[in-house]
Amino acid sequence: MKTVLITGANRGLGLEFAKQYQLDEWKVIACCRNPDDVPELLESGVSVYQLDLLDFEAIYRFAETLEGKPIDLLINNAGIHDRTKEEGSLGIETEYWIDGFKVNAMAPVLLTLALLDNLSASENPVAATIGSQAGCPTLYDSGGIYLYRTSKAAAHAAAVILSNDLKTFGIPYVCLRPGHTKTDMGGSDAPHEIDESVRMMRQVLAKVDVSQTGRFIDRTGELIPWNMEKDLNI
């Protein structure tokens, strides 16, 4: 049985990833700040762990609890968004902005490195960050949304750097673009259903190999240039 570890599994894409992999008989390790928020996962037999990604020491302690357990797939999904679209234009909450960098950009690197032995124990390990075209500065034609845009740009850069370090271990690391999906973060007007986006990203992850490491991949499987020049309405 293969094992997948998912952060931010209490809602949105993370919760849907956990549900779909569990249905396909993977061993699912679901991480979130409050396990009580996901009774449906607890009742279905998913291993739910309390993990606050703002607490870096907690990341290391959590990794120690998984010592000796192979992880085939790591999905760094947890993320923080600006509280409102207007925030950042005139009223930046600097402490919250820092939290955004911690969760969106720093935690994926620290968690992946903390779980390096677990990933290395898998025959075909894959690790990924859920990215966003909001992290591509070439598309910025408006102001605001400082937290999400800047932290996602940093997350992309961190993923590329990390992918180079992981080459030595034969572990491909990619960024995935889910598209504008109906989640709490994406909003109810988003064009894509959450189950569809996750299903498509799972198909992409199943085909990832070291030749794609460090790349930005759309849910359709299309490779996206980091300096993309137009919005992808797909």
Q: Indicate the Cα dihedral angle 186, 26, 61, 123, nearest 10°.
A: -110
Predicted TM-score (pTM) of the model is 0.93
Instruction: Tell me: pLDDT of 196 over 60.
Output: yes
Q: Render pLDDT for 91-105 as a digit per residue (tens, 0 to 9).
A: 678 899 999 999 999
What residues form DSSP beta bridges with 4?
28, 73
- CA pair distance 196, 166, nearest whole angstrom: 30
Residue 121, burial from CB neighbour count under 10 angstroms (0-12, 13-18, 19+) = middle
Q: What's the chain's average pLDDT?
A: 90
Instruction: Tell me: pLDDT of 231 over 70.
Output: no
Which percentage of the chain shows pLDDT scores above 90?
75
What residues form DSSP beta bridges with 127?
74, 173
Q: Render pLDDT for 162-188 as a digit per residue (tens, 0 to 9).
A: 999 999 999 999 999 998 766 666 566
Concatenated DSSP letters for 102-154? IIIIIHHHHHHHHTHHHHHTSSS-EEEEE--GGG-GGG--S---HHHHHHHHH
CATH assignment of 3-224, given 3.40.50.720, 3.30.1130.10, 3.30.360.10, 3.40.50.1100? Answer: 3.40.50.720
Q: Render pLDDT for 57-84 as a digit per residue (tens, 0 to 9).
A: 999 999 999 999 999 999 999 999 886 5
Domain parsing of the chain, residue ranges: 3-224
Q: Render pLDDT for 123-173 as a digit per residue (tens, 0 to 9).
A: 999 999 999 988 888 777 778 888 999 999 999 999 999 999 999 999 999
List the one residue out of 161, 146, 130, 139 whose CA is nearest residue 225: 139
- CA pair distance 192, 199, nearest whole angstrom: 12
- CA pair distance 165, 184, nearest whole angstrom: 33
199, two tokens: 């299903």
